[in-house]
Amino acid sequence: MNHLPQISEAEFEVMKIVWKHAPISTNEITDKLLQTTSWSPKTIQTLIKRLVTKGALTYEKQSRMFVYTPVVKESEYIGQESNSFLKRYYDGDITAMLSAYIENDKLSETEIEHLRSLLSKRHSKGGD
């Protein structure tokens, strides 16, 4: 999918449930979100309908239930949002972003070690 739909923060909460549990019914989505939000079931149903309209979710009617599956892959969406953030706040310069996080103590030593490990693996594979 080249152009992924714009998804609000609330819609993203619905998508996280669907990505994790698909295929999943309306009732199951609602039950899971009622545990973590103060939204009404009607609000949750509205969010699901918006996601279907936007093309982020598809559904199948199974007897009297609607069962949803994502059209948009979680990794694609997260990648798009990350690129958007990077372009908006750091002119696409990931080094500037990481420098800001490191200089402002936003990364733990564990996170820095993980990044070192990832960079080391990439370097040993002959990446750019």
CATH number of the domain bearing residue 97:
1.10.4040.10
Q: 60 and 13: one domain?
A: yes
* Predicted confidence (pLDDT) per residue in 75-121, tens digit: 999 988 888 888 888 898 888 888 888 888 888 889 889 988 998 98
80's enclosing H/E stretch is helix 74-90
Count helices and strands in the chain by DSSP H and E runs: 6, 3
Query: What is the pTM for the complete model shown?
Result: 0.75
Is residue 3 in a domain?
no
Q: 78 and 54: one domain?
A: no
Closest CA to 51 of 34, 35, 32, 66: 66
DSSP structure class, residue 89: H
Is residue 57 in a domain?
yes
The confidence score (pLDDT) of residue 2 equals: 52
Q: 44 and 62: one domain?
A: yes
Question: CA-CA distance, 23 to 19, in Å (whole number)?
Answer: 9
Q: 86 and 59: one domain?
A: no
The confidence score (pLDDT) of residue 1 equals: 43
* Predicted confidence (pLDDT) per residue in 38-70, tens digit: 999 999 999 999 999 999 999 999 999 999 999
Name the residue range of residue 85's domain: 74-124
Place of tokens 């990832």: 118
Please give the residue that has the higher pLDDT: either 77 or 128.
77
The confidence score (pLDDT) of residue 7 equals: 92
Q: How many Å is the Cα radius of gyration of the chain?
A: 19
Is residue 4 in a domain?
no
The confidence score (pLDDT) of residue 62 equals: 95
Specify the number of domains making up the chain.
Answer: 2
What CATH number does the domain containing 50 carry?
1.10.10.10
Is residue 16 in a domain?
yes
The confidence score (pLDDT) of residue 99 equals: 87
The confidence score (pLDDT) of residue 127 equals: 59
Mean pLDDT, rounded, of the chain: 91
Q: 51 and 104: one domain?
A: no
